[in-house]
Amino acid sequence: MRFSQRIGKKKATKEIQLESIDTELQNGLWNIIKLLYIDPIPRPSNYNRGEFNGFANVLWHHFYKLPVDRIPEYEFQIEDFIRKRFFEDEWYESYDFIEFLLNLDYDHYNKTEFVDTLNSILEREFAGYRIIDNLIAPISNELELEELSTATKNTSQFSALNGANVHLENALDLLSDRKNPNYRNSIKESISAVEATCRIITNENTLGKALNKLEEKGLNINNQLKAGFDKIYAYTNDKESGIRHAIVQQPNEPDFSDAKYMLVSCSSFINYLITKAEKIGLEI
C-alpha cells in the first residue's frame, strides 16, 4: 500500500469496473499491448517489408474495417493510429481489440506471458473481467478463474472429452458476449458439459444415472455434494426456468449471476469428476 493510501489521502481500493475502463486500467492494458505484443513484431528492412506491415493489413481489414490503401506509410504513424484508437474507443471496444489480438495466429510473442500479465493488470485495477481461453470473460474472482481455466484445459487434454470442451467454450462465449449475452443458453451449455463428461466416464445419458454408475465403479461421491448437484440439475430441467425445455409459461429469466454461478459450478464439478476418475484408475 502506498503512503498516500495509508494516510487516507487516496482510496486503497476502488469499485469493480464492469462497464467502464478508468485511466489507470487503460494505461496498464496499453502498456502490456505495446511492450509484449506490438514491440516484438519484426520490423521492415530495406529488403523485407516485414511482419509489421502484414499485421497492419490484417488489423485494418478485419478489425478496423478500413481501406488498406489508407494505412499510414510509416511504422510510427501506424502505431500512433492504433494507440489513438485504443484510447478513444468505447471501453468494450478496447476489450474487443485485445480479444482480436489473442485470436490472431502469430508467434512473434510469448502468449502465456501476455495473457498472464494482462490478467494481473485486470486484477490490480479491479476490472470485472479476466482472460480465459482467448476470451475476456466477466470473471473477477481468482478461484473462479482457476476452476474455469482448469476445466477447459482438462476437457481439451482428453480427446474423448472434446464434446464437454465445446459445451464449456460455448457457455463461456454466450456469457462473455458484452453486446448480447445469452444467459439461458449459457446455463444450458454448462450443464451439457457435465453430462458429456459423465457420459464418457459412465456411458449413461442422464446425470442422475451417471452419478449412480460412477459410485458403482468405485467413485465415492459425497452425499451432500451429490444432492447439491442433483438440485442444480433439477433447476435446469424445471418448467419455470424453461432452460432445457420448451417455454410453456412466463419463465423466471436467468441473469448474469445465475449463468456465472452455473458455469463456475459445472466447471468445478467436471474437475472433481476427472480427478476422482483418474484416482480410481478409470480410463477417459
The reported pLDDT for the residue numbered 93 is 96
Poorest-confidence range of 1-10, 37-46, 79-88, 204-213? Answer: 1-10
Q: For residue 233, what are the contacts with CB-CB under 8 A and spacing of at least 6?
A: 191, 194, 207, 208
pLDDT over 50 at 272, yes or no: yes
Q: Are 59 and 38 in contact (CB under 8 A)?
A: no
Tens of pLDDT, residues 104-116: 999 999 999 999 9
Cα(208)–Cα(229) distance, integer angstroms: 9
Q: Is the whole model's pTM more than 0.85, yes or no? A: no
Q: What are the CA-CA distances from residue 195 to residues 38, 185, 206, 270 (Å)?
A: 42, 15, 7, 9
DSSP-assigned states of every residue in the chain:
--HHHHTTSS-S----BSS---HHHHHHHHHHIIIIIITTSPPP-SS--HHHHHHHHHIIIIII---GGGS-SSHHHHHHHHHHHHHHS-HHHHHHHHHHHHTS---SS-HHHHHHHHHHHHHHTTBS-EEETTEEES---HHHHHHHHHHHHHHHHSGGGHHHHHHHHHHHHHHH-SSS--HHHHHHHHHHHHHHHHHHHH--SSHHHHHHHHHHTT----HHHHHHHHHHHHHHH-TTTTSSS---S------HHHHHHHHHHHHHHHHHHHHHHHHTT---
Mean pLDDT of 204-212: 76
Q: pLDDT per residue over 224-246, tens digit each?
A: 878 888 888 787 776 665 565 55
Give the pLDDT of residue 241: 57
Q: How far is CA 162 from CA 98, 165, 199, in A?
A: 26, 5, 12
Residue 177: pLDDT band by 50, 70, 90 thresholds?
confident
d(CA 70, CA 275): 54
User: How far is residue 229's CA from residue 84's CA, in Å, rounded to a whole number?
Assistant: 49
Write down the pLDDT at residue 47.
Answer: 47
